[in-house]
Amino acid sequence: MTSPPRDHGAPATGAPTGPRPVVVGPEPDDAERARTLAAGVTIGMLSTLAREPEGTPFGSVAPYALDERGRPVLCISELAEHTQNLHRDPRCSLLIAESVAPGGDPLAVGRVTLLGAAAIVPDDEREAAKAVHLAGNPHAAYYIDYTDFSLWRIEVEALRFVGGYGRMSWVDAPAWSAAEPDPVAPLAAGVVEHMNADHAAANLLIAQALGGRADATSATCVGVDRYGIELVAQGGEGTGRVRIGFASPATTSDEVRAEVVALVHQAKSAQS
């Protein structure tokens, strides 16, 4: 086996180019990005080792929920292949992927693969694990108490995070376990819509004055998280990402608003 290349090879046809992305201030680390992604998904793909053909990796659908330490809790039936595979060899992984919009690019979405070993949840932890699983999977109420279903938990030993094109890493398992999903994630879509509908001038001002994109003629808000705001600046040198961090992490809608207002004030001061 040869070593993998470190970067994409030359394309036969032209590929898009543009200004380099701008990142000012704090941003989430990959453990936080991965935990946030996983907190917004409830259906995973479980990979186990097939009994026949023996040792071939076997993919299956597995609803899951994460406990507070980031361990996936599954509710699976003895009738299912994956369960029989796990009885024979507990090594497995759970792939968690953001959904792809119709017609969207499947490689542009985030996904994380949690690798480890699965075991049946011990009796004295079953009620807590059941509550974790049901919180994420209300449909499981129909079968969670069938006697052929058991709760299994994966102890995460390694994880691979892919945040779309160009962002990928092996994340430290203890960092995953300790990371908190972003409390701003459930609010983000509303904030983005509001910034674009009512504050286009503020987006542009932030990109120009704080993002080094004085050439920009417009800027669109494309994301917000606990640590900052994500814009795409257009015009002049081209279309490119601009990320500006907040002074302090935000956890509520009010705190996000206060941090964005502070960025606008800072941008006005920088321009005057």
Residue (of 97, 93, 87) closest to 58 by Cα position: 93
Q: Is 12 in the site for its own copies (CB under 8 A)?
A: yes
State the amino acid at position 46 in one-letter form. L
Calculate helix-pair angle for 185-198, 253-271, nearest 10 degrees: 40
Q: Is 81 in the site for its own copies (CB under 8 A)?
A: yes
Size of the site for its own copies (CB under 8 A): 66
State the amino acid at position 163 in one-letter form. G
* CA 165 – CA 155 distance, rounded (Å): 28
Query: Cα–Cα distances in Å, from 117 out to 64, 160, 197?
Result: 15, 15, 47
User: Cα-flanking dihedrals φ and ψ of residue 263, to 5°?
Assistant: -65, -40
In the complex, minimum distance from the CB of residue 4 to its own copies, in angstroms, rounded to a whole number: 5
In the complex, minimum distance from the CB of residue 6 to its own copies, in angstroms, rounded to a whole number: 8
Please, which residue, 57 or 186, has the CB nearer to its own copies?
57
Q: Is 134 in the site for its own copies (CB under 8 A)?
A: no
Q: Is 160 in the site for its own copies (CB under 8 A)?
A: yes
* CA 79 – CA 28 distance, rounded (Å): 41
The DSSP string of 194-238 is HHHHH-HHHHHHHHHHTSS-TT-SEEEEEEEETTEEEEEEESTT-
Task: Identify the DSSP state of 3.
Answer: P
Q: Is the peptide bond before 53 cis (omega within 30 degrees of 0)?
A: yes
Q: Residues 22, 23, 24, 49: which binds its own copies (CB under 8 A)? A: 49
Q: Is 8 in the site for its own copies (CB under 8 A)?
A: yes
Q: Is 131 in the site for its own copies (CB under 8 A)?
A: no
Q: Residues 34, 46, 188, 233: which binds its own copies (CB under 8 A)? A: 46
In the complex, minimum distance from the CB of residue 253 to its own copies, in angstroms, rounded to a whole number: 23
Q: Residues 31, 33, 34, 42: which binds its own copies (CB under 8 A)? A: 42
Q: Residues 36, 47, 208, 234: which binds its own copies (CB under 8 A)? A: 47
Q: Which residues bind its own copies (CB under 8 A)?
A: 1, 4-5, 7-13, 15, 42-43, 45-50, 52-53, 55-61, 63, 77-79, 81, 83-84, 87-88, 91-95, 97, 99-100, 105-107, 109, 111, 113, 115-116, 137, 139, 142-143, 145-149, 157-158, 160, 162
